[in-house]
């Protein structure tokens, strides 16, 4: 029997997948990926992502303002984020975060937007979904400050930052999510960071259509490829693929409580 997995972060609304959703989800099911969270990165596309979640039983969704867009749009309103939580298949807040690699000039508004998303996560009880790139120090500081002000849950999506941010996130009770980057042959240092984390705080994801793991690196990613990343990451903890799939699915259900099977 194929081990069951969850793709905790994908982007099914992106044009890369237009007209192919039925086939993509069929391949995901065949690979054992029975649930996935499609992430909306700009609120004007929330109706599109919501419609996908309403059409496909295995698709759930989350929404927020991606940090690279934070400087291009008005500051997101807290009530706009919290209102989304009324939908049965809306399961997380974000992705939000800090990206100083591509958009360092908007750092102040990124930080302000991040704090609004954190408050939305607090008020709704839904997990925060964090994007972090080249902003480890500020990210650790803000997440810690805000957690002291009021607890919330969180996943560090597509984690590829340094050991200090990983330790800070784990100390707060947060989760780290492994994307195809962690399966790349030269990602030994990143796998060592993951190895220092408890396996009950690990999720797997694709971030599709980006970051396809081997043997599909450089090609369009899709939810079915979660299995390739999971197989490689199972080696980090010396687990069988079956046991790792079971553990990461349990982890997902613990964090994304609204997406648990009925």
Q: Which residues are annotated as a binding site?
A: 9, 11, 95, 131, 157, 207
> Which residues, other chains included, contact 10 with Cβ-Cβ below 8 Å and sequence gap of 6+?
36, 37, 38, 39, 205, 206, 207, 208, 222, 223
DSSP string, 84-127: HTTSTTEEEEEEEEEETTT-GGGHHHHHHHHHHHHHHHHHH-PP
The token pair that represents 86 in the structure block: 């009324």
How far, in Å, CA of 94 to CA of 111, rounded? Answer: 14
How far, in Å, CA of 25 to CA of 28, rounded? Answer: 5
Known binding residues for a divalent metal cation are 9, 11, 95, 131, 157, 207
> Which residues, other chains included, contact 48 with Cβ-Cβ below 8 Å and sequence gap of 6+?
13, 40
How far, in Å, CA of 176 to CA of 161, rounded? Answer: 10
Q: In degrees, to the nearest 5, what angle opens at C-alpha 178 toward C-alphas 174 and 182? A: 135
């Amino acid at each position: 029997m194929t081990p069951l997995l969850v793709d905790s972060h994908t982007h099914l609304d992106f044009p890369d997948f237009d007209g192919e959703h039925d086939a993509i989800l069929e391949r995901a099911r065949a690979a054992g990926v029975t649930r996935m969270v499609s992430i909306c990165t700009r609120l004007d596309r929330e109706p599109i992502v919501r419609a996908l979640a309403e059409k496909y039983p295995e698709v759930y969704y989350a929404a927020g303002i991606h940090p690279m867009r934070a400087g291009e749009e008005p500051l997101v309103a807290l009530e706009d984020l919290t209102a989304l939580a009324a939908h049965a298949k809306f399961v997380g807040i974000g992705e939000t975060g800090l990206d100083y690699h591509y958009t360092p000039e908007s750092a102040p508004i990124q930080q302000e937007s991040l704090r609004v998303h954190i408050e939305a996560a607090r008020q709704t009880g839904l997990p925060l979904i964090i994007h972090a790139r080249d902003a480890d120090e500020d990210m650790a500081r803000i997440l810690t400050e805000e957690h002291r002000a009021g607890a919330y849950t969180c996943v560090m999506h597509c984690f590829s930052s340094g050991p200090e941010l990983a330790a800070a996130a784990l100390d707060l009770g947060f989760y780290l999510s492994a994307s195809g980057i962690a399966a790349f042959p030269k990602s030994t240092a990143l796998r060592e960071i993951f190895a220092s984390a408890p396996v009950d705080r690990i999720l797997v994801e694709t971030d599709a259509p980006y970051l396809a793991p081997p043997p599909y690196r450089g090609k369009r990613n899709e939810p079915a490829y979660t299995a390739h990343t999971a197989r490689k990451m199972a080696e980090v903890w010396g687990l069988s693929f079956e046991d790792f799939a079971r553990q990461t699915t349990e982890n997902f259900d613990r964090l994304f409580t609204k997406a648990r099977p009925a």
